[in-house]
Structure 1
Amino acid sequence: MKETLSVLIRMGSLHRLLPFWLFGIWLISQNLSWWIPFALVYGYVAQLFVEYAMHRFLYHRAPPTAQGTFNDLYRAHIGHHEYPTDPEFFTGDDHWYAVRFGFVSVAIHTLVLWPFLGLQFALSLSYIALFVGSVSAFTFYEYCHTISHLNVPKGRLGQYITRKHLAHHFQDHNATFQVSFGFDWIDRLFGTAHHKDTARARFDRKTMLSMGMDPEDLRLVTARKAFGITERPGAKRARVDQT
Structure 2
Amino acid sequence: MIPALRIVIHMGGLHRLAPFWLAGLGLIVFNFQLWMLPALAYGVVIQWFNEYLIHRFIYHRKPPTEQSPFNKLYRSHIGHHEFPQDEEFFTGDDHWFPLRFAAGSFAVHLLVLWPLVGLWGAVQFAWVALFVGSAAAFAFYEYCHTLAHLNVPKGRFGKWVTREHMAHHYQDHHATFHVTAGMAWIDRLMGTPHDPARARARYDRTTMMSIGMNPDDLRLVTARKAYGIAKAPATSGRAQPARAKVARVQHKT
- How far did residue 30 of structure 1 move? 2.9
Unaligned stretches of 5+ in structure 1? none
Deviation at 1:150, TM superposition (A): 1.9
1:135-188, CA deviations, whole angstroms, 9 ceiling, x for partnerless residues?
001000011111001233322211111000000000000000011011110000
* 1:117 to 2:117 alignment: yes
Q: How does 1:12-31 map to 2 (within 5 A)?
A: 12-31=12-31
Please say if residues 232 and 241 of structure 2, whose CA atoms lie closer than 8 Å, have aligned partners that are also in contact: no
Give 2:149's aligned residue.
149
The Cα of 1:41 is off from its aligned counterpart by 0.3
Letter of the structure 2 residue corresponding to residue 14 of structure 1: L
Q: CA deviation at 1:92?
A: 1.4
Residues 56-93 of structure 1 show CA distances to partners (whole Å, capped at 9, x for unaligned) of 00000000001000000000000000000011211111
Q: Is the 8 Å Cα contact of residues 228 and 245 (structure 2) preserved in structure 1?
A: yes
Distance 2:156 2:60 in 1: 29
Distance 1:242 1:129 in 2: 38
Q: CA deviation at 1:37?
A: 0.7
Could you say what the CA RMSD is over the residues aligned between the two structures, in angstroms? Answer: 1.3
* Greater RCO (CA < 8 Å, at least 6 residues apart): 2
2:78 equivalent to 1:78: yes
Deviation of residue 2 (structure 1)?
3.1
Match of 2:57 in 1: 57
**Other-structure match for 2:134:** 134
Using the alignment, how far apart are the partners of 1:6 and 1:227 within structure 2? 26
In 2: Cα distance, 1:214 partner to 1:232 partner: 10
- Residue equivalent to 1:91: 91
Asked if residue 193 in structure 1 is aligned to residue 187 in structure 2, the reply is no
Instruction: Please say if residues 168 and 174 of structure 1, whose CA atoms lie closer than 8 Å, have aligned partners that are also in contact.
Output: yes
Q: Note closer, same or farther for the CA distance 1:40–1:206 as it changes in structure 2 (3 Å cut).
A: same
Residues 114 and 91 of structure 1: CA distance in aligned 2, closer, same or farther (over 3 Å): same
**CA shift in 2, pair 1:104/1:207, >3 Å:** same
Contact 1:83 1:238 in 2 (8 A): no
1:173 aligned partner? 173
1:238 Cα deviation after fit: 4.0
Question: Structure 1 residues 9, 231: closer, same or farther in 2, change over 3 A?
Answer: farther
CA spacing shift, 1:9–1:88, aligned 2, 3 Å: farther
CA offsets 1:3-22 (integer angstroms, 9 cap, x no match): 31232123110111111111
Q: Distance in 1 between matches of 2:22 and 2:52?
A: 26
Do the aligned residues in 2 keep the contact of 1:74 with 1:223 (CA within 8 Å)?
Answer: yes
Mapped partners of 1:160, 1:242: distance in 2: 31
Q: Which of 233, 236, 241 matches 2:240?
A: 236
Alpha-carbon distance in structure 2 between the residues aligned to 1:124 and 1:238:
49
CA distance in 2 between partners of 1:207 and 1:183 (Å) = 27
Q: Is the 8 A contact 1:86 1:238 kept in 2?
A: no
Residues 118 and 77 of structure 1: is their aligned pair in 2 closer, same or farther, counting only changes over 3 Å? same
d(CA) in 2 for partners of 1:169 and 1:88? 17
TM-score by length of 2: 0.93
Read off the aligned partner of 1:12 and give its amino acid letter: G
User: Among the aligned pairs, what percent are the same residue?
Assistant: 60
Q: Secondary structure at 2:201's aligned position in 1?
A: helix
Counterpart Cα distance in 1 of 2:224 and 2:241: 13
Partner of 1:39: 39
Residues matched between the structures, number: 243
Following TM superposition, by how much is the alpha carbon of 1:242 offset from its aligned partner in structure 2, in angstroms? 6.5
The one-letter code of the counterpart of 2:176 is T
Distance 2:113 2:246 in 1: 49
